[in-house]
Amino acid sequence: MKWEPGETSENIEDRRAETGEGGGRRIGGIHVGIGGTIVLLVLSVVFKQNFFALLDPGASNGGNSAPVSQLSPEQQAEQDRLVKFVSFVLDSVQNTWTRVLPASGAQYRPAKLVLFRDGIDSACGLAESATGPFYCPGDEKVYLDLGFYDELRDRFGAPGDFAQAYVLAHELGHHVQKILGIEARMREQQRESPDEANALSVRLELQADCLAGIWGHETADQKILDPGDIEEGLQAASSVGDDRLQRMATGHVNPDGFTHGTSAQRSRWFKRGFDSGEVKQCDTFASRAL
């Protein structure tokens, strides 16, 4: 992507100093290195449970993991660059929705992006890095541990700055769903039909992928994409498909456990938003074939 480092967005809350330092983790007195962290990360993403809590019974009671190492100068420089980049993407995505959303009958209100390390309290509860980036409708904030981008590149095979941008655009897509009332209606449907909870979650997530694609459409119009950027976004969407994550974690696929959609579905809906640039094309809840 064509971008220049600038001022940090006013909508970023940098809480990394409060929540730990980079490197390994010490949980319940046990140091978990990067290999163990990756395994627990994949399991947590697949099953939507905090597998770190199994090693630290106090975590569910609000306990925080202790940092075990400081960032090296090289790591710090990379983190500083990432902060500038996510700041650029955050403002770009939110500026897009400020322009685009009124056509759908709503005014956009900016979300906050909270940067943290290791673990953090949110209005949606205690979250660990293993949870991955997430949007909390309770406080209208996106939470991101920048270390996730290392996992996206190394573990999930989705390198590149546009892949990183896709992750943030997807989470802000959930904020758009909150503003439009889609998220609340979906939660009500889940309460009324608990057997359909996972299927409804898939539709919500695929719609967020499509909404991320709309931002991609806008960036293409602004001529800030480099050759290969869209392929990076499609690869990122594909790399976190339920079928791929389940196969990585357990060696087999269980469609009944899907909550985000398959790799093919996630790529398809991202591309649908990118190609159309229209919110009405992202109605996954009305689509018979996902």
**174-228 tens-digit pLDDT:** 999 999 999 999 999 999 999 999 999 999 999 999 999 999 999 988 888 887 8
What are the backbone angles phi and psi of residue 288, rounded to the nearest 5°? -80, -35
**Cα(28)–Cα(66) distance, integer angstroms:** 9
Rounded distance between C-alpha atoms, residue 94 and residue 126, angstroms: 26
Q: According to the model, what pLDDT value does residue 44 have? A: 61
Q: How far apart are CA 19 and CA 115, in angstroms?
A: 9
pLDDT at 272: 95
Q: Which domain holds residue 274?
A: 12-286
With respect to residue 1, please indicate whether it lies within any of the assigned structural domains: no
How far apart, in whole angstroms, are the C-alpha atoms of residue 226 and residue 231? 10
pLDDT band at 26 (very low <50, low <70, confident <90, very high): very low
Residues 6+ apart with CB under 8 A from 269: 206, 207, 209, 210, 213, 237, 261, 282, 284, 290
Q: In this predicted structure, what is the pLDDT of residue 59? A: 40
The answer to whether the CB of 110 falls within 8 A of the CB of 178 is no
Two tokens at 8? 């940090």
User: With contact defined as beta carbons under 8 Å apart, do 185 and 243 qualify?
Assistant: no
- Give percent above pLDDT 90 in the chain: 45
Q: Is 12 helix (H, G, I), strand (E, B) or coil?
A: strand
Rounded mean pLDDT, 65-94: 79
Task: Between 54 and 188, name the one with better pLDDT.
Answer: 188
Q: Can you give the pLDDT at residue 28?
A: 37
Burial of 123 by CB count in 10 Å (0-12 exposed, 13-18 middle, 19+ buried)?
Answer: exposed
In total, how many domains does the chain have?
A: 1
Question: Are the C-beta atoms of residues 148 and 188 closer than 8 Å to each other?
Answer: no
165 found inside a domain? yes
Residue 35 has pLDDT above 80, yes or no: no
Interhelix angle for 197-221 vs 182-192, to 10°? 160
The pLDDT-based confidence of 66 (bands split at 50, 70, 90) is: very low
Q: pLDDT (tens digit, 9 = 90+) per residue, 136-150? A: 999 999 999 988 888
Tokens of 36: 């163990």
Residue 3 lies in a domain: no
Render pLDDT for 227-280 as a digit per residue (tens, 0 to 9).
788 788 788 778 878 888 788 888 888 888 888 889 899 999 999 999 999 999
Q: Are strands 66-67 and 112-115 parallel, antiparallel or unpaired?
A: unpaired
On average, the pLDDT of the chain sits at 82
Q: How far apart are CA 48 and CA 259, in angstroms?
A: 9
The span from the CA of 158 to the CA of 160, in Å, is 7
Judge contact between 167 and 90, C-beta under 8 A: no
Q: Is residue 220 part of a domain?
A: yes
For the residues 17-27, what does the mean pLDDT come to?
53
Give the side-chain half-sphere CA count within 13 A for 72. Answer: 4
Specify if 117 maps to a domain.
yes
Query: How far, in Å, CA of 197 to CA of 114, rounded?
Result: 28
Counting residues of the chain whose pLDDT is more than 70, the rounded percentage is 82
